[in-house]
Structure 1
Amino acid sequence: MALSKMLIGVAAALLAMPAQAATSYVRAGRLIDTEKGVVLTDRLIRIDDGRVAAIMPYAPPPAGATVLDWSGYTVLPGLIDMHTHLADWGQTNNVAEPLLHSAQEIAYVGARNARTTLRAGFTSVHDVGCFRAFSDVELRNAIARGDVEGPRMSVVGAYITTPGGGGEVTGFAPDVTVPADMRVGVASGPDEVRRKVNYLFQHGVDSIKLIATGAVLAEGTEPGQQELTEAEMHAAVEAAAARGGWVTAHAHGAEGIKAAIRAGVRSIEHASLIDDEGIALAKAKGVFLDMDVYNGDYIEEIGTKEGWPAGYLRKNRETTDAQRAGFAKAVKAGVKLSFGTDAGVYPHGKNARQFRYMVRFGMTPMQAIQAATVTSAALLGWSRDVGALSPGHYADMVAVARDPLADVSALESVDHVMKGGAVVR
């Protein structure tokens, strides 16, 4: 009897032990170290159970090991886009477009967009809003379960916006009733903002997106006009912090940007009309600017061709050049600049088009790559997991045949993509 009990105990102990980690190797011809800003040549990357275990000068791995030969490529960490809209229909010339698609349809559209984004080399995203609340939460969860192929997602669930503000579906007759799931984040006053923030976290969001000013692509709002008060934004920041979360603010106008920074947000989306005082304040407070400096050209070209509303095109023209001038100033000032594109306004999978614009307006190719890796990882709060290829990080990486430090547009067409040690392209 004693022997039987002993054997049962040994068996139970063996079952409780973790399975031996799956080990594989990648040989990288050139490896961009985004943490140090240098390039290493002919490196062997060891991957254990989906994470980087070691990086060493190349030497033949153990006999029989699984080795992926990327010796003819430049290898860098999986890219991060801090401003996507995966769980929505794309932008069109119809202001009522969000009302034309069911929640069920949006689920399938989101899955398609997620797959496209991952295969373009973007292995992590901050998805900053969808019209049908919590579509992004369910997409994130489906990816995490392995049901859907896509990037790692941090999501906001819905926009916190003032009634009729830049986060509302607007532009049609006043007697049209907008579905309740498209107005989940509409709030007035600090107390209601707190309730809405708590509601969003109760339903699984990771962070909060405030619509601090009017929007370019919304009828009845102006980008320079502040919509949420500083008190409302501060209430959101406090409520999110109590839940272990953080806040970003859509803010085009200079005063709205400064109010959001004073209120304690972690980052500013767009920052199109930022002034010198706003740049200095962002620098002093350590606030990230997430500026979509490519997007204006797409809106001008396609919006004009497809007949987007005249107000959209006017507002885009009033903000595009100003945003790029502000970006150049922010680069020179040493403000923390992440990589955010507003993918969803333009087709998903084209995210890397922004790299050459960031270089055109003041960054080096290495700085632009760091913006889309270590800097964006820091903004997400995910620096221990993504944004770099060093021991402990997920084995998320892309490989390109051309040298992106010589021509950063090489990242617009990546050759291979890996997420968590598994090759997806």
Structure 2
Amino acid sequence: MLLNHCRLIKELSGGIETADGALRMENGKIAEVMANAAPADACAGEEVIDCQGKTLLPGLMDTHTHIIGIVDYSSDLMKSPMKLFMKSAAAAQKYLNYGFTTLRDCGTPLRVSNFVRDAFAGGLMTGPRIISSGRIISPTEIEEMDGIYEMYSWADGADTMKKAARKELAEHADYIKIMASGSAFHKQGIPVQPIITAEELSAAVEIVNMKGTYVAAHAHGDGAIRLCVDKGVRTIEHATFIGEETIEAALGRKNFYLVPTLAAMYQNPAKTPPEMMFLVDKLKWMLDISIGCLTKAYDAGLKIGFATDSTAGMDQYEQGIEFKYRSELFGMRNIDILLQATKVNAEIVEMADCLGEVKTGYIADLILVDGKPDEDISVMYHKPDMVFLSGERVR
């Protein structure tokens, strides 16, 4: 298949910048990237799509999502694992409509994201590439009546933490997700409060290092973030209240990333059920403070990934809130936001050698958008015109 007359951005296309280029896909990969459109006589015998000067980007990645859709999830689904699987698979497929071809799922009950990942990878059904943590590992923190209690494995003490980490890896988790601070989503959660000990954290990191993977840590408060930095955690999820001294310490770390989820702090009161109204004020307070904290991290040059902590179909996806907040509230440059959602995220999921760029030899995960997002990021507030997954058009 040949994509002809497409616009390419040099930072995302191996240095090729053109308003009228072309790209050839073969066997699920990018076979050739051309700075000039292909003439008609060079296209004989292959399918050609005229991109009409629209911008071709790598497929987008969300490196912190929950495919089960926490807002719609019901604990009753635990009674029917097959129904949970089908609901989760259908929800995960919807991400393709928004141009997200790779997801890093950060926790599901019954480890259902592991099975959806395998179903997609095995060709049982079509869906985005999934990197899965299985269950979230946490010190005891919330009551059993909590709506998403079953999403967690509980671990108190270093030895129990080691066992829990080993269990998730044995059940085919790609990496380990732990809770280092309180969560805004739980009524009793205090986001600024650390909830894990240095010994517990070190135990988790020790196990993943032995198995060649990494720890991603939910951490809002600066104390929890600093502990994670010091103990070798690779990705800090949310990083809402990161402080200047912690930023300075993190600058000395290799293979270290912040994964803010700004869209998760968007809450529409009109769509919030009564039992969750406590979130409205809590999230607004968090967003207001995070602007100063995360802007300092961005200005300092820390590597920042792109994530939503939201699910396809929610307002956060429908309105492009993550793109909007990063640009309009945090003042990030358009090209940096695009890089975060593609190239930097490919580093985070350890696939930078084959994903995240429009580059010869890379997997042909691509999206076509109507406009110039490097000049006007609002182009990304809407669904793309076309989406390709491993060279196949899926939108």
Give the structure-1-normalised TM-score.
Answer: 0.85
1:77-132: CA deviation from partner (whole Å, max 9, x where unpaired) = 0001111100x24326xxxx6423233222122122111101210000111111x1
Task: Give 2:331's aligned residue.
Answer: 362
Task: Give 1:110's aligned residue.
Answer: 88
Which of residues 28, 47, 65 in structure 2 aligns to 1:66? Answer: 47
Instruction: Quote the Cα distance in structure 2 between the aligned partners of 1:112 and 1:366.
Output: 32
Seen in structure 2, the aligned counterparts of structure 1 residues 66 and 345 have a Cα distance that, compared at 3 Å, is closer
Which of residues 104, 111, 121 in structure 2 aligns to 1:126? Answer: 104
Instruction: Quote the Cα distance in structure 2 between the aligned partners of 1:345 and 1:323.
Output: 24
Instruction: Quote the Cα distance in structure 1 between the aligned partners of 2:313 and 2:65.
Output: 10
> Is the contact between residue 25 and residue 31 of structure 2 (CA under 8 Å) also seen in structure 1?
yes
Structure 1 residues 17-32: aligned runs within 5 Å: 24-32=1-9
Matched, 1:322 2:289: yes
Task: Give 2:210's aligned residue.
Answer: 242
What is the SS of the residue equivalent to 1:284? coil
1:9-33: CA deviation from partner (whole Å, max 9, x where unpaired) = xxxxxxxxxxxxxxx2211420123
Seen in structure 2, the aligned counterparts of structure 1 residues 354 and 39 have a Cα distance that, compared at 3 Å, is farther
> Is the contact between residue 134 and residue 157 of structure 1 (CA under 8 Å) also seen in structure 2?
yes
Instruction: Quote the Cα distance in structure 2 between the aligned partners of 1:410 and 1:325.
Output: 26
Which of residues 341, 345, 365 in structure 2 aligns to 1:376? Answer: 345
Instruction: Return the offset for 1:362.
Output: 1.9
Q: Which moved more, 1:191-200 or 1:105-114?
A: 105-114
What is the SS of the residue equivalent to 2:346? helix
Letter in 2 for 1:398: I
Letter in 1 for 2:257: F
Instruction: Quote the Cα distance in structure 1 between the aligned partners of 2:312 and 2:31.
Output: 38
Instruction: Quote the Cα distance in structure 2 between the aligned partners of 1:274 and 1:372.
Output: 21
Percent of counterpart pairs with the same letter?
A: 29
Instruction: Quote the Cα distance in structure 1 between the aligned partners of 2:220 and 2:5.
Output: 41
Instruction: Quote the Cα distance in structure 1 between the aligned partners of 2:291 and 2:275.
Output: 22
Instruction: Quote the Cα distance in structure 2 between the aligned partners of 1:28 and 1:34.
Output: 19
Task: Give 1:153's aligned residue.
Answer: 130
Q: Which moved more, 1:210-219 or 1:54-63?
A: 54-63
Task: Give 1:3's aligned residue.
Answer: none
Instruction: Quote the Cα distance in structure 1 between the aligned partners of 2:183 and 2:355.
Output: 31
> Is the contact between residue 343 and residue 351 of structure 1 (CA under 8 Å) also seen in structure 2?
no
What is the SS of the residue equivalent to 1:285? coil
Which of residues 77, 99, 107 in structure 2 aligns to 1:101? Answer: 77
Tell me how large the CA RMSD over aligned residues is.
2.2
Q: Which moved more, 1:344-353 or 1:146-155?
A: 344-353
Instruction: Quote the Cα distance in structure 1 between the aligned partners of 2:30 and 2:181.
Output: 42
1:209-257: CA deviation from partner (whole Å, max 9, x where unpaired) = 1100000001322111111112211211121121121111000111001
Instruction: Quote the Cα distance in structure 2 between the aligned partners of 1:275 and 1:311.
Output: 26
Instruction: Quote the Cα distance in structure 2 between the aligned partners of 1:106 and 1:159.
Output: 17
> Is the contact between residue 27 and residue 69 of structure 1 (CA under 8 Å) also seen in structure 2?
yes
The structure with the largest alpha-carbon Rg is: 1
Instruction: Quote the Cα distance in structure 2 between the aligned partners of 1:28 and 1:189.
Output: 59
Letter in 2 for 1:91: V
Which of residues 369, 386, 391 in structure 2 aligns to 1:400? Answer: 369
Instruction: Quote the Cα distance in structure 1 between the aligned partners of 2:16 and 2:334.
Output: 12
Instruction: Quote the Cα distance in structure 2 between the aligned partners of 1:152 and 1:40.
Output: 29
Seen in structure 2, the aligned counterparts of structure 1 residues 294 and 284 have a Cα distance that, compared at 3 Å, is same
Instruction: Quote the Cα distance in structure 2 between the aligned partners of 1:50 and 1:352.
Output: 28
Which of residues 158, 161, 177 in structure 2 aligns to 1:209? Answer: 177
Seen in structure 2, the aligned counterparts of structure 1 residues 302 and 159 have a Cα distance that, compared at 3 Å, is farther
1:262-320: CA deviation from partner (whole Å, max 9, x where unpaired) = 111111111111111122222221421111122212x25356x5324354334323311
- What is the number of residues matched between the two proteins? 385
Task: Give 1:4's aligned residue.
Answer: none
Instruction: Return the offset for 1:171.
Output: 4.1
Unaligned ranges ≥5, structure 2: none
What is the SS of the residue equivalent to 2:154? coil
Which of residues 183, 190, 193 in structure 2 aligns to 1:225? Answer: 193
Matched, 1:422 2:379: no
Letter in 2 for 1:423: R
Instruction: Quote the Cα distance in structure 2 between the aligned partners of 1:105 and 1:349.
Output: 24
Seen in structure 2, the aligned counterparts of structure 1 residues 71 and 309 have a Cα distance that, compared at 3 Å, is closer
Letter in 2 for 1:84: T
Task: Give 1:12's aligned residue.
Answer: none
